[in-house]
Every structure is written in C-alpha cells, then in structure tokens.
C-alpha cells in the first residue's frame, strides 16, 4: 500500500550495504545530498580486497564519447517474455532502452521490467559464499563451500539414502539451467526435484494436459487481440502481467470486445472490464456450471465442434443440470441474470477466450477448476482458432520452460513420465547406461514379493517437503525423512503453514540456498549450523534460452559478467556434480567453455542436447542458432500472428517468433513452430495441429446393469476417442487417427518415405520390436517428418476429454474449501476423503471436518485470499531489494471492507492483527480499508517476508543483504489443503479474524 506521507519526511532510510568492515554507514541525508550521483555506499565494497570481488557497479552514466554494446535478455519477472535491451559500457550495464523490435512487448515494461537494471548492481545482493557457524555467518570460498556441501550430501546418502536429499529448482533458471538441474537430480537418484510451477500452475498443467494433450497456454498474448469476448477469471494481469494488458486492451478497443472479469476482488484489471462478476472464493466450478446451465438450456453450445472433437460432454450436461441459477446464486453469490448475460456473450460473440491465473489454480480443487474452464471452452467451440483458447498466464520468465524441462516430481524432461520407457529414452539421449541410472535409486520390498523402485515413483513436492522432514519416520513412504534441502532460486515464504515449515527448516541437517539473495529461508529458521548461502547470478548475467508463456523460446545474452563473487547456475551445478562423482557421465556430451571461475557448461551445447531428446513436446527443432536468428530479426514478426512478415529475411521466412513449441523434427527440418495449439485451420507443417491422442483410441465405460431378474452384471461400452470428421488443413487422413509409430507408418505404407539413416535409428531403438518405436522416442525425427509430410500431427488426432477418467474427479464437481465459511454446504460438497499421495498423507477431509466441528467459521468469520502487487514478484526478496520498486510499496497490508473495519474499530493505515485458524498463527500488518474486497472478505499480497508473527527478523539476514522492505508473509496464516492430483496448496481460500493492534 502506498501511504500518504503525513509527516513530510521520507519514511525509511535504506539499510546499509553488505560489507566486512570499514564502510561508513550511509545515512539518508548523505544519500540525498548526492542525489543523482553514484551511490557512495557501494564503493565500500571495494575495500573487501579479494581479487575476485569486482567493484560494485555503482550507478555510472553512459560516457557518450566512448563506444557501448547492446545486449538483449528477457525480463525475469513474469512469463510475458519482454525483451530487455541493455546498454553496456566497459562491462557495466549503464542504460536500459525500450525494446521496440520485440513483437511481444514492443518497447514497453511494467514497474518491475523498467526497474530491472537495478538488480544487476543492487547493493543487497549476496556477494560471496557464506557459511553459518554457531549462528554467525562466515565468509568462505566457493571451493570450501562446495566441498563441505558435497561431503555432507554424500554422508546423508550413505546414512539415509538418496531420497533424503531434496532438490528445489527455479522458474528463473534458463531452459538449460532447468534441464541440468533435473538431470542432476536424476543422476543423484531421486525424483524429489521441484520448482515454482508446483505452487503456480501445476494444476493448470495437469488439468489442461488431461483435457487435450499438452499442459500449456494454447494461444498467445498477442493472439488475444483477435478475441471478441474475453473472460479473465482468477487472474489480475493488470498487476501480475501488465504488458499483457497492452494486447488485451487493444483487443478490447479494436474489436469493441467484451472484457469480463470474474473474481472475488474488484481488481485493477476489473477496473477496465466491461463487466465485473464478484464471486465467493473457491466457487469457480459452480460458476462455470452456472454458465453452462444457461448455455445448454438455450442451445448455445457448439454442437458441431462437440460432435467432432469432444468426448463426454453429455456427462457434463448432466452435472450442469444440477446447477440452476438459484443454486448457483446460493453457493457463489452471483445473480442468475448476470451469469446468463455472460454465458450468452461467451457463447455467441466469438471468438472467445478464457484467461486464468492462480485464482483458479491454487485450490484443493485446482485441477478440477482448470478442467471446468477447459470444458466451457470446449462446449462453446472456443479452442484451436485465433482469438480463442485457454490463455494461461504463467508467473516467471521461464516457468513454462522449467516445467517443460522436468523440474517436476512426476516426470523426466518434456513430460516423458517416470516409467522404464521414459528412463530408457533419456538414457539413450544422455548416452549413459540405463542400469547405472537405475542403480542410483533406492529400492524397497513391496507387497506380494514385488520390488518398489523409487526411480519410477513421484517425488516430494515443494508444498509437502517440510512434512517429509518432520513426520515420524514410519509415516513417510521412503527409507528416511528428508535431511537436506538444496534450494536454487526459490523463495521461502511461498507455501502455506509457515509455522510448520519453520519446524521443518530447523530440523534439516543441511540447508543450501543458492540465490542472488539470501531469501526468507535464512531469516526464518533460527538455524545455527549446517547452512550455506551461495551467491548465484540473476539470469540477466547468464546466457541461455527461456520459454515464455506462449511457448515461444527466446535467447537471452549475458548482459554483464556475474557481479561480485556470484556464479551462474551452470557452473555451480557442474562443480557440485564433479564433487558428487558423476560430472563425467552427466556432461559427457556437453561442451565446456571458459567461464568466470573456470570451465563451465556451454548453454548452446546444453540446448542441443535438449533438442536431441525433446521430441515429445517439439523442443527438438529450436536450435540455438535458429532462436538467435529470431532475436536478431525481432522486428520482422507480425504483432498479431507472430509470423514472419512477407518482407522478412529468407532465414526466418514462414516461421513464428521464438519457434513456439511444438517445433517438430530436427532443426534441419525447419518446422516454423506452432503459435496456436490444436489449430486445424493450418497445415501441421505451418504450425497447425489437432487434439492429441494421448488417451487411447477407445474409451471403455463399465456400467452395472440389472436384468429383469434383478441380477447385476457389468456391461462394457466403448466410445471412439478419435476425432470424427475433423482434421488439420491438408491432412491426407480425413478423420481421426492414433499417434504415429513405426508400425502405423508401415500400415499406411508411409514407412517407405523414411531415409535409410532414419530407419537405422528406429531399428536401433526398437531392437526386436521396431514397430513400437513412436514419434516421441524416435531420435531421428523421421517418424515426425513423414507424418507431417502427409499433413498429419505426429501425436495423432483425437477428441478432447470432457470426462478425464483417470483423474480423481473425472467430471469436475464442486467441493467446498477446507476452511469454508459456508459450513451448511460442507456436508453436501465435502472435500475428498483423506488419502496418501506424494509419500505423505493428504488429510484434507479430517481437517475440514475438524474445522466444522470446532466451529472455526464462527471465530474466524472473514474469508482470506491473496494475490500479487505490480511492484513485486513471488516471494519478493529480489524485488523488495530493488530500491526503485521498494520505494513504491513499503508496507505489508490487508485489504478489508469498510463495514468489517468499522465494526472492529479499524482505521485506514492502522495496525491490525490478522489471526489464522491453524497453529495460533497471526500477522501484524497495516489495514487498507477498501470496497475492492466484498464484505466478509480480506485480501493480502504474498510478496512479503522478514517479519514473523509480529517480530522483525532483519537481524537474521547476513549483514547488508536484508531486503529494503520487510513485512509479514501471508502464508504464516494460510492453511492446510492440497489438490489431489498435484499437491498444489490452497493459497486462495482460508478463514481469518482481524482485530486492531
């Protein structure tokens, strides 16, 4: 919140920079006297004396008499993929220019992007490795830190097994960093490797992939310009993805489009909407069924689309029938007439798109929410064409890429899964022995003389890791509890139940935080030993590729050398792998180049390895050369279609910006990338596609039937899952078809089109059964090439699934939040029964029942939800350390409705306690009294940290690395609850009480 300055003073002096000694503290007045000159405090860093410490990049103006370089990288603060243009002089980033050539941001930025230069000379960065000794941080060398860390890891491996080391990666990794980190965990012998996607869009990926094949945004930010109706539901892109609003508002203006915002909070996005629909948090599914009720009732559904491309819509129809306007209004609070108006616009004023963010995903019903959204799109025929689609806005630079590259506890890179076929595929790509990889993993005896192989089991996700540290050993489904956490680029305040996380942190034997900033993890724990902080550069100081939300891959150049003693991820991963004893195998085919501290893996070479194995998702065609060519020719791409314009140079002719995946075949096949998924209006060779045949060619439905005598028998019926009469432009098969294998090619007689070399590769992979070699594991790319030459999508042409029979709720059903304010509805719409998942117990049902029994809703009568502020990102340590951003948001706050504030004697700007219903948790924050939230609803931003239940923990940070702004974390008071499919936390609905402090 931006508080008015009543006392006419600048509110807070900035904390002193990180120094060893001898630095005169810089007071505000001194700072202001030097207004516009160099930040003098930074110069003190030069007194450190170590040869490797570069002088701080004090603010230096450009010397116009001397030459300078232009470097391009990608903003790290959301997934839009804004190009950052840097002017570099003498190794210092001296100026930031608008990137007009980028078809994505066209020169523009939000507050974070426009301030991003600060993080590459910011004085709050970690400057050298630190080790915690009896509660004091000591400066150590990289060598000492890595030696000690690896020794401890190997000791834990010896004692407790590889599963006791937990790896947390980052959505700020480049693609190459993410891939290496996943590979690192695989070679170590665990699948417990996760990153921020768990807590932002894991449920999107699960929901969307289970509907039509791939877990990603179907269209693009730019394509929203084509929409005539847009629903933004559970998202506030005006703050979270401001540059996307350029496309949204242009669409709204040029098409006079409907912009409908559905949210519990009247957001800054809603301020620009043509219609705002306020809902009760956690009732997305009833709202969608409420819309579908009107659509089906009035026959507004797209019958032709459903018949050709969707399976199971009748089951949705049956569920929607239960949600008449009166029931919907009772559960959600939305009047029937308003939903009817929205339903009619969405179904009739097409093309329509549905945009969502974490308001949809961070729920115990996150996957089901996403499924419901997809079903609304399918019912109205709004998938696979310009202006339509599931426009999922992701949260970090490379959260899409890091998800794709397998920083996920359920899969190897590029969604191959964890079964033997997946491991064998990657063993072939890596050219390592499958048996050796297998030997790295724990095994244990299962029931009935079976062996349980941890290589094939999902690991422990970021929402459950601290439970895996603290539960009794017999309550975790692995040999021992977690003992070590290796955390690269991830905040420590991002998951609910922080009081319980603090216990987990304290109990770890080893905590490694590798990050540009110390993060909340170190301020919270009160640890005394066994903690290392490794200074990692930002990805702006790092070469490599990033995948934006729209699946376009962009190459970022290293703007400057990593500052201070910080190193890039590649070097740190390589050095750690060396000490853990498998660098030779892991980097067998990866070129090493001379880096800041010695040999480091070359980004281009890593991407080439990804290309060699990335056939399943079409990460195979985007060679570093092709992507760099796109970056060089950014100005030649159309702003709406992202296609190279007619006058573009020949080397990019016909291609789409950033070769959005799937970019089929090998780089030599020159596939142009797929700007829209499942778009049958284009030939596959031009980026078209169909729904993916991922779930077989037939759906088998078993029903119990009673005959005349009352005897019950099981009857099997089968439904065709392949598309009917729908196919992409130019397809030689004018109907649905299964995914391609060598056998399928043989059946069609197309195997003759394979070259000798391609056939040799297929035969080598397939051994005795070459027919089973599929488009996804054929390392020659031949099967893909031939299928596409005949106009077919390598993955088949299927129907999308309105019923996803492998999910816990195949047809989405409403379930009340764990902490529901409507206890009268809990019995009718309970959460799922307790069950074990991801090696621990998901006790959601017990917690929900206890909350009802204890009458929590009475003592905690206010719904608490959370979200983003434009100035900060994620856990916020990086952005709260940026002086240009920190100045704009200096206090953690809670939004409270005027009526709720008045009845509690709370005044605007006053301090309040927000009490949570678990762990006697509480946070002390400022009150922002506003009608932005409805009565009985409170909202807090999730970027703050460094205060804990009323205590200022600034002293816990290593000197000089504390962020400028600290505050209470919302997740101190958020509560239990996990999605049954992905273990996504419940970040958007809990209950609280608020009182004046």
Partner 1 sequence: MARMKFLCDADRCIECNACVTACKNENDVPWGINRRRVVTINDGKPGERSVSMACMHCTDAPCAAVCPVDCFYTTDDAVVLHSKELCIGCGYCFYACPFGAPQYPKTANFGSRGKMDKCTYCAGGPEADNTKAEYVAYGANRLAEGKLPLCAEMCSTKSLLAGDGEIIAQIYKERVAKRGYGSGAWGWKTAYKEDIAT
Report the interface residues with partner 1, using CB under 8 A. Answer: 8-10, 14, 28-29, 31-37, 59, 61-64, 95-96, 98, 106-115, 117-118, 238-239, 242-243, 245-246, 249, 252-254, 256, 266, 268-269, 271-272, 276, 870-871, 883-885, 887-888, 895, 930-933
Shortest approach of partner 1 to residue 373 CB, angstroms?
24
- 239 or 686, CB closer to partner 1? 239
Q: How far apart are CA 816 and CA 346, in angstroms?
A: 26
Shortest approach of partner 1 to residue 59 CB, angstroms?
5
How many C-beta atoms lie closer than 10 Å to residue 146's C-beta?
21
Q: How far apart are CA 302 and CA 381, in angstroms?
A: 5
Shortest approach of partner 1 to residue 12 CB, angstroms?
9
- 106 or 985, CB closer to partner 1? 106
- 271 or 593, CB closer to partner 1? 271
Which segments of 310-379 does DSSP mark as H helices, in order?
Answer: 313-321, 325-332, 336-348, 358-361, 366-379
First to last CA, the chain: 18
- 58 or 209, CB closer to partner 1? 58
Shortest approach of partner 1 to residue 7 CB, angstroms?
9
Shortest approach of partner 1 to residue 58 CB, angstroms?
10
Pick the closest to residue 199 from 170, 156, 167 (CA basis). 170
- 88 or 111, CB closer to partner 1? 111
User: Coil, helix or strand for 291?
Assistant: helix
Q: Which residues contact 7 (CB under 8 A, 6 or more apart)?
A: none
Shortest approach of partner 1 to residue 972 CB, angstroms?
25
Shortest approach of partner 1 to residue 391 CB, angstroms?
17
Q: Which residues contact 598 (CB under 8 A, 6 or more apart)?
A: 571
Shortest approach of partner 1 to residue 36 CB, angstroms?
5
- 153 or 245, CB closer to partner 1? 245
- 278 or 671, CB closer to partner 1? 278
Answer yes or no: are the C-beta atoms of 219 and 550 closer than 8 Å: yes
Residue 311, strand partner residues = 801
Shortest approach of partner 1 to residue 871 CB, angstroms?
6
What phi and psi, each to the nearest 5 degrees, are found at residue 358? -80, -10
The length of the chain, given as a count of residues: 997
Shortest approach of partner 1 to residue 238 CB, angstroms?
4
Q: In three state form, how does the secondary structure of 852-897 look?
A: HHCCHHHHCCEEEEEECCCCCCCCCHHHHCCHHHHCCCCCCEEEEC
Q: Which residues contact 870 (CB under 8 A, 6 or more apart)?
A: 110, 111, 112, 238, 239, 240, 242, 268
- 140 or 964, CB closer to partner 1? 964
Shortest approach of partner 1 to residue 28 CB, angstroms?
7
What phi and psi, each to the nearest 5 degrees, are found at residue 324? -70, 165
- 11 or 764, CB closer to partner 1? 11
Sheet with strand 130-133: strands edge to edge: 136-139, 130-133, 531-535, 510-515, 484-488, 165-168, 193-194
What phi and psi, each to the nearest 5 degrees, are found at residue 40? -60, -30
Q: How far apart are CA 896 and CA 25, in angstroms?
A: 39
CA dihedral of residues 109, 114, 120, 121 (deg, nearest 10): 180
- 117 or 464, CB closer to partner 1? 117
Shortest approach of partner 1 to residue 923 CB, angstroms?
21
Q: Which residues contact 689 (CB under 8 A, 6 or more apart)?
A: 384, 662, 674, 677, 678, 679, 680, 682, 728, 793
Shortest approach of partner 1 to residue 818 CB, angstroms?
28
- 32 or 318, CB closer to partner 1? 32
Shortest approach of partner 1 to residue 80 CB, angstroms?
10
Shortest approach of partner 1 to residue 376 CB, angstroms?
26
- 64 or 472, CB closer to partner 1? 64
- 394 or 922, CB closer to partner 1? 394
Q: How far apart are CA 714 and CA 702, in angstroms?
A: 6
- 576 or 870, CB closer to partner 1? 870
Q: How far apart are CA 669 and CA 655, in angstroms?
A: 12
DSSP state of 656: B
- Burial of 135 per CB tally in 10 Å (0-12, 13-18, 19+): exposed
- Under the phi-then-psi rule, with left for phi > 0, alpha for psi from -120 to 50, and beta for the rest, what region is 670? left
- 84 or 376, CB closer to partner 1? 84
């Amino acid at each position: 919140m931006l508080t008015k300055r009543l006392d006419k003073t600048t509110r807070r002096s900035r904390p002193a920079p990180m120094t060893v000694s001898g630095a005169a503290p810089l007071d505000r007045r001194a700072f202001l006297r030097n207004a516009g000159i160099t930040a003098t405090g930074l110069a003190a860093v030069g007194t450190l004396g170590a040869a490797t410490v570069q002088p701080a990049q004090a603010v230096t103006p450009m010397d116009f008499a001397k030459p300078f370089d232009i470097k391009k990288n990608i903003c790290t603060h959301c997934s839009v993929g804004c190009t950052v243009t840097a002017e570099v002089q003498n190794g210092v980033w001296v100026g930031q220019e608008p990137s007009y050539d980028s078809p994505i941001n066209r020169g523009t930025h939000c507050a974070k992007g426009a301030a991003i230069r600060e993080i590459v000379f910011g004085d709050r960065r970690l400057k050298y490795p630190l080790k915690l000794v009896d509660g004091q941080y000591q400066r150590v060398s990289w060598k000492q830190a890595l030696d000690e860390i690896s020794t401890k890891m190997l000791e834990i491996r010896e004692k407790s097994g590889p599963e006791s080391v937990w790896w947390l990666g980052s959505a700020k990794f480049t693609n190459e960093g993410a891939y290496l980190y996943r590979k690192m965990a695989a070679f170590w012998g665990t699948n417990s490797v996760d990153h921020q996607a768990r807590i932002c869009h894991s449920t999107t990926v699960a929901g969307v992939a289970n509907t039509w094949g791939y877990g990603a945004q179907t269209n693009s930010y730019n394509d929203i310009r084509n929409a005539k109706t847009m629903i933004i539901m559970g998202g506030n892109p005006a703050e979270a993805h401001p540059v996307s609003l350029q496309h949204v508002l242009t669409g709204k203006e040029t098409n006079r489009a409907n912009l409908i915002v559905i949210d519990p909070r009247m957001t800054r996005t809603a301020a620009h909407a043509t219609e705002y629909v306020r809902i009760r948090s956690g009732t997305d599914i009833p709202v969608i069924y409420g819309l579908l009720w009107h659509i089906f009732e009035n026959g507004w559904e797209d019958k032709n689309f459903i018949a050709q491309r969707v399976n199971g819509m009748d089951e949705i129809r049956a569920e929607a029938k239960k949600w008449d306007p009166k029931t919907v209004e009772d559960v959600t609070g939305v009047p029937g007439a308003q939903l009817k108006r929205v339903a009619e616009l969405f179904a009739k004023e097409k093309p329509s798109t549905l945009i969502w963010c974490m308001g949809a995903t961070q729920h115990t019903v996150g996957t089901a929410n996403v499924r419901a959204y997809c079903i609304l799109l399918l019912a109205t025929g709004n998938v696979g064409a310009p202006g339509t689609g599931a426009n999922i806005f992701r949260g970090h630079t490379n959260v899409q890429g890091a998800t794709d590259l397998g920083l996920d506890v359920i899969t190897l890179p590029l969604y191959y899964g964890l079964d033997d076929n997946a491991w064998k595929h990657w063993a072939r790509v890596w050219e390592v022995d499958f048996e050796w990889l297998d030997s790295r993993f724990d095994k244990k005896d299962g029931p009935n003389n079976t062996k349980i192989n941890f290589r094939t089991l999902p690991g422990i996700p970021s929402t459950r890791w601290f439970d895996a540290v603290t539960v009794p050993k017999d309550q975790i489904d692995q040999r021992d509890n977690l003992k070590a956490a290796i955390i690269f680029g991830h905040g420590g305040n991002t998951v609910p139940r922080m009081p319980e996380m603090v216990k987990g942190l304290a109990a770890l034997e080893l905590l490694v935080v590798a990050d540009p900033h110390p993060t909340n993890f170190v301020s919270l724990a009160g640890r005394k030993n066994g903690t290392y902080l490794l200074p990692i550069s930002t990805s702006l100081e790092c070469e490599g590729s990033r995948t934006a939300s729209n699946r376009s891959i962009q190459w970022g150049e290293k703007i400057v050398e990593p500052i201070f003693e910080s190193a890039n991820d590649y070097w740190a991963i390589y050095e750690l792998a060396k000490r853990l004893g498998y660098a030779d195998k892991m980097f067998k085919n990866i070129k090493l180049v001379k880096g800041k501290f010695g040999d480091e893996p070359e980004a281009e070479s890593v991407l080439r390895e990804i290309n060699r194995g990335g056939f399943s998702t079409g990460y195979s065609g985007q060679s570093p050369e092709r992507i760099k060519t796109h970056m060089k020719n950014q100005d030649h791409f159309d702003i709406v279609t992202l296609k190279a314009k007619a006058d573009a140079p020949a080397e990019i002719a016909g291609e789409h910006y950033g070769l959005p995946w799937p970019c089929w075949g090998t780089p030599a096949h020159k596939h142009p990338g797929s700007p829209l998924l499942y778009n049958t209006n284009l030939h596959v060779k031009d980026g078209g596609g169909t729904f993916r045949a991922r779930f077989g060619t037939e759906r088998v439905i078993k029903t119990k039937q009673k005959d005349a005598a009352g005897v019950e028998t099981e009857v099997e019926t089968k439904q065709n899952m392949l598309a009917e009469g729908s196919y992409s432009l130019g397809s030689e098969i004018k109907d649905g078809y299964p995914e391609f294998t060598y056998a399928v090619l043989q059946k069609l007689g197309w195997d003759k089109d394979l070259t000798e070399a391609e056939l040799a590769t297929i035969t080598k992979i397939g051994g005795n059964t070459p027919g089973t070699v599929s488009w996804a594991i054929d390392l020659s790319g031949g099967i893909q090439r031939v299928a596409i030459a005949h106009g077919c999508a390598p993955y088949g042409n299927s129907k999308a699934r309105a019923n996803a029979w492998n999910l816990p709720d195949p047809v989405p059903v409403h379930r009340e939040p764990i902490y529901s304010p409507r206890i009268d509805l809990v019995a009718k719409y309970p959460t799922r029964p307790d069950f074990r998942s991801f090696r621990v117990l998901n006790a959601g049902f017990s917690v929900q029942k206890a909350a009802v029994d204890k009458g929590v809703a009475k003592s905690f009568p206010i719904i608490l939800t959370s979200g983003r502020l434009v100035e900060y990102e994620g856990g916020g340590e990086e952005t709260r350390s940026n002086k240009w951003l920190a100045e704009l948001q200096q206090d953690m706050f809670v939004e409270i409705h005027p009526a709720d504030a008045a009845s509690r004697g709370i005044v605007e700007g006053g301090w309040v306690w927000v009490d949570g219903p678990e762990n006697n948790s509480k946070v002390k924050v400022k009150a922002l009294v506003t009608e932005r939230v409805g009565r009985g609803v409170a909202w807090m931003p999730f970027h703050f940290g460094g205060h804990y239940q009323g205590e200022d923990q600034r002293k816990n940070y290593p000197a000089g690395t504390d962020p400028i702004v600290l505050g209470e974390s919302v997740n101190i008071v958020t509560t239990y609850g996990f999605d049954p499919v992905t273990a996504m936390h419940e970040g958007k609905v809990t209950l609280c009480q608020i009182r004046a402090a």
